[in-house]
């Protein structure tokens, strides 16, 4: 019997495989951008030179991990391209292959979702786009052979992406076992039928948003702001206030139109009124009395009160719109800054975790030296103490992260126990936008608080006009149609009924009011002076807030630039110190100092990244964006 020779796996291939598996697990846990080469070497207990022997840098490692994780896509398309398969069979194989792949690599869904949330300018985003284009081309070639109605192929492409994303999300949250084994077949049938049948297509339209809703890869800062805009009470109340003042405009316009009213009265004279004439008592009226009227009134001139009221209502409406913008801008700033604070806590926890791993790695090195007689037991004890001292910092920053998430959930109107995954990164503009004078001009045009102060001054001007109208005559026109009837029993007949019609004009001329009108005019004038001072103060406050945010952004940007170089220098210094320590050319104190220097540089750099984002959000708010 001939023995089948299996391909031999070399030690180098096994090491490379171990590195890729470790990188995949760490990237799934922390996200590709947060994983360092040092963490991978510490996890595998290999030196960094060995790691760099297989992968020249982190980008090469990420690319290799990505390509390893996407091999199944090429394999899947190779299978579905075989002739003789129906559309449903091809779709079922695509979905089944993805599920099989997730079963083989349980960490891949988390890593893939992290990749989706990577910054758009990173290497992962580029690789993801390249893979998406390749897959789109392969799917397009497959669907060209099918007889599909217009938009059918495009709809199927979207649905395939949604189904795969749903598989990843469900596997991440509940495990791949939670997905029914026959789901790929059922989905393939439904999608295949919907691509050709209008009735089944309706089911597809319901399926697609449901799958997309489950396929979310996390909440970006823009998503968080959008959620807060829907649920924040101050925004909701400001919106209601805007609607109230829109109705106020209609109310004031009611004074321009004619006022029409109707009235009716019935009187039963239980004891008729009487009068005396020549010593004789004469009863007046009848037992029953009826009266009705239709009255029309139209203001002709009121000293400008009506028009002024309409203008004031319009200004109130504009003010309520600015109050809504102010509420939205404040919520946007609060959510954005809290979002980046949560990211800062997580980044600080990661830094402390890396420092902890470094101290543990150094402990293993010192223990090895101790076993060889090259280090004392005191050195081992000292390093064990350092490991113990680093552990609380990790737990503390993780606690800050969880507390920050709770505060953010509250701001977004979410329940405390609900899931919230942040997909953003502290990557914000690192330089101010334009000169100070340009920023002042932008703020004057866009800042709602300044515009509100300006509208308040306009209101004060209109209020002076309104109060002065109290000195002017009031002219109106009227018309009245009246009906009267009297009778002792039942409804009066024609001889006991009468109609009348009258029309005319009324002029009211204020002559003396004890100085009340003059006092109200004086009060309105003083309120105008106050509004004018408030507008000037608003302009000063605006410039102060803009300049402060501009200065903070400038300073944080400079710190970011300087600390980025400091981190790289500290890493090189630590690597050199570690090498010298292993060769006996540096002491444990040198090693601790180099580790502490890297920790401090990373902390300052991360804080600078956060401060840039926070100052950028503050400047946006100051500019009224």
First to last CA, the chain: 79
Phi, psi of 417 (to 5 degrees): -90, 0
Round the CA-based radius of gyration of the chain to a whole number and report it.
Answer: 40
How many contiguous H segments (helices) and E segments (strands) does the chain have? 19, 6
CA distances from 45 to 15, 40, 41 (A): 12, 8, 6
Are 401 and 349 a contacting pair, CB within 8 Å?
Answer: yes
φ/ψ of 43, rounded to 5, equals -65, -40
- Residue-level pLDDT at 89: 80
CB 619 within 8 A of CB 542: no
Distance CA 346, CA 408 (A): 14
| DSSP codes joined into one string, 315-348 | HHHHHHHHHHHHHHHHHHHHHHHHHHHHHHHHHH
CB 95 within 8 A of CB 163: yes
Residue pair 474/507 in contact by the 8 Å Cβ criterion: yes
Coil/strand/helix, residue 410: helix
Which long-range contacts link 495-503 to residues 24+ away (Cβ below 8 Å)?
Answer: 496/286, 503/477, 503/478, 503/479
Regions of the chain short of the pLDDT cut 50: 1-7, 119-121, 198-217
pLDDT single digits (tens) 428-475: 765 556 778 888 888 888 888 888 888 888 888 888 887 888 778 888
The vertex-538 CA angle with 535 and 539, nearest 5°, equals 90
User: 417-435 burial string, b = 16+ CB within 10 Å, else e?
Assistant: eeebebbbbbebebebeee
Bridge partner residues of 288 (DSSP): 268, 487
pLDDT of amino acid 69: 61
CA distance 218 to 200: 31
Contact between 611 and 341 under an 8 Å Cβ cutoff? The reply is no
**CA gap 546, 552 in Å, rounded:** 10
Helix (H) or strand (E) holding 39: helix 37-44
Under 8 Å CB-to-CB from 41, ≥6 apart: which residues?
47, 48, 50, 51
Q: Residue 187 in contact with residue 163, Cβ under 8 Å? A: yes
Is the C-alpha dihedral spanning 342, 345, 348, 350 positive or negative? negative
What pLDDT, on the 0 to 100 scale, is given for residue 433? 65
Q: What is the pLDDT of residue 427?
A: 75
Contact of 109 with 174, CB cutoff 8 Å: no
Domains and CATH numbers, the chain: 70-217 (no CATH), 258-301+473-509 (2.20.200)
Helix (H, G, I), strand (E, B) or coil at 607: helix
């Amino acid at each position: 019997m001939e023995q089948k020779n299996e391909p031999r796996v070399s030690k180098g291939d096994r090491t490379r495989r171990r590195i890729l598996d470790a990188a995949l697990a760490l990237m799934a846990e922390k996200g590709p951008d947060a994983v360092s080469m040092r963490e991978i070497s510490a996890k595998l207990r290999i030196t960094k030179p060995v790691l760099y022997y297989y992968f020249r840098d982190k980008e090469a490692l990420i690319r290799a991990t990505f390509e390893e994780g996407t091999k199944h896509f090429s394999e899947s398309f190779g299978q579905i391209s075989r002739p003789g398969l129906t559309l449903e069979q091809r779709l079922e194989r695509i979905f089944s292959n993805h599920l099989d792949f997730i079963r083989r690599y349980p960490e891949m869904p988390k890593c893939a979702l992290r990749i989706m949330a990577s910054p758009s300018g990173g290497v992962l985003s580029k690789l993801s786009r390249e893979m998406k284009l390749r897959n789109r081309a392969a799917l397009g070639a497959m669907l060209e052979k099918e007889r599909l109605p217009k938009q059918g192929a495009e709809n199927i492409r979207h649905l395939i992406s949604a189904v795969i994303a749903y598989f990843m999300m469900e596997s991440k949250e509940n495990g791949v076992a939670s997905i029914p084994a026959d789901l790929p077949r059922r989905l393939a049938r439904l999608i295949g039928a919907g691509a050709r049948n209008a009735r089944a297509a309706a089911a597809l339209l319901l399926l697609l948003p449901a799958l997309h809703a489950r396929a979310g890869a996390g909440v970006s800062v823009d998503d968080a702001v959008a959620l807060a805009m829907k649920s924040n009470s101050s925004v909701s109340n400001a919106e209601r206030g805007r609607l109230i003042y829109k109705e106020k405009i209609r109310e004031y316009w009611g004074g321009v139109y004619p006022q029409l009213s109707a009235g009716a009265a019935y009187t039963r004279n239980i004891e008729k009124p009487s009068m005396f004439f020549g010593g004789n008592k004469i009863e007046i009226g009848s037992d029953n009395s009826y009266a009705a009227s239709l009255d029309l009134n139209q203001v002709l001139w009121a000293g400008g009160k009506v028009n002024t009221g309409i203008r004031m209502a319009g200004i109130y409406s504009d003010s309520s719109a600015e109050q809504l913008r102010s509420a939205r801008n404040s919520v946007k700033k609060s959510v954005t800054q809290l979002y980046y604070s949560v990211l800062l806590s997580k980044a600080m926890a990661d830094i402390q975790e890396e420092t902890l791993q470094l101290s543990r790695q150094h402990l293993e090195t010192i223990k090895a030296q101790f076993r060889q007689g090259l280090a004392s037991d005191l050195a081992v004890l000292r390093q064990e103490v350092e490991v113990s001292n680093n552990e609380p910092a990790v737990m503390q920053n993780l606690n800050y992260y969880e507390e920050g998430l709770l505060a953010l959930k509250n701001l977004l109107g979410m329940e405390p126990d609900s899931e919230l995954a942040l997909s953003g990164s502290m990557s914000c503009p690192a330089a101010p936008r334009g000169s100070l004078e340009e920023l002042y001009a932008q703020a004057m045009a866009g800042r709602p608080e300044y515009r509100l102060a300006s509208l308040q001054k306009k209101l004060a001007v209109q209020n002076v006009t309104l109060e002065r109208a109290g000195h002017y005559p009031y002219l109106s026109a009227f018309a009245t149609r009246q009906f009267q009837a009297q009778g002792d029993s039942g409804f009066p007949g024609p001889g006991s009924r009468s109609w009348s019609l009258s029309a005319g004009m009324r002029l009211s001329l204020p002559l003396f009011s004890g100085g009340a009108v003059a006092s109200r005019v004086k009060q309105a004038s003083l309120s105008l002076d106050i509004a004018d001072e408030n507008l000037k103060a608003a302009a000063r406050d605006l410039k102060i807030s803009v300049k402060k945010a501009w200065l903070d952004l400038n300073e944080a940007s400079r710190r970011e630039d300087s600390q980025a170089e400091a981190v790289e220098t500290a890493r090189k210094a630590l690597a050199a110190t570690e090498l010298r320590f292993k060769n006996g050319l540096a002491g444990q104190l040198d090693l601790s100092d180099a580790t502490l220097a890297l920790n401090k540089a990373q902390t300052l750099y991360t804080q600078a990244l956060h401060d840039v984002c926070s100052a950028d959000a503050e400047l946006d708010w100051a500019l009224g964006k």
